[in-house]
Amino acid sequence: MKPTFRVVILTSAKKCKQPSCPVTGLSVGPRTCVQAGTLPKPTLWAEPGPVVPLGSPVTLWCQGTLGTQEFALYKDGNLQAGRYLCYCVSPTGLSEPSDALELVVVGSYLTPSLSALPSPVVTPGETVTLHCASGQGFDRMGPVTPIHRGTFRCHGYYSDRPQVWSPPSKPLQLLVPGLNVGHRTLV
């Protein structure tokens, strides 16, 4: 028989606001207040991963100690992308929060373009500026060594929504004589 779990979704609006609740507690049901820290912290992860294309499914997993049958999933803000925390809930209290999971959604904005100035072919010791054209985006690299060579892409995002990205730019090949090609992503 497959075990059954209950998940309580907590948002910033659902943090404990009842007069009988301690400031550091969370409300997990009507009139039930629990103090954080009475159980070991669970592990939270995303499948297929924490960076997800817009419209693609993602599963958040919260794994607690043996016997945990109720979990609370907390999220900052109201967008699906963002910072998630998981708690194990028991009659004796609430666990420490899991390590934060930053869920990033890619593909929400226009695709930026990436260029290298003065050129994508750079000799060791030169400085190159990578320009991601989606508003303002300059990432200066210098002095360049052969270890910097590789394929680069960039994403754009708004500072007030850092977990919602544009699709990646087309790849830019940065050539510096000396080593094998690697892959890099600029955000």
Written out in words, the top-level CATH class of the domain with range 113-186 is mainly beta
> Is the model more confident about 92 or about 55?
55
**What tokens were used for 92?**
């004796």
156-167 tens-digit pLDDT: 888 888 899 999
Q: Where are the domains of the chain?
A: 6-106, 113-186
16-47 tens-digit pLDDT: 332 332 323 333 333 334 445 557 889 999 99
Cβ-count burial of 74 within 10 angstroms (0-12 exposed, 13-18 middle, 19+ buried)? buried
Whether pTM exceeds 0.75: no
Q: Architecture of 6-106 per CATH?
A: Sandwich (2.60)
Residue 127 has pLDDT above 90, yes or no: no
pLDDT at 51: 93
**How many CA atoms within 13 Å lie on the side-chain side of 134?**
24
Q: pLDDT-based confidence at 5, cuts 50/70/90? A: very low
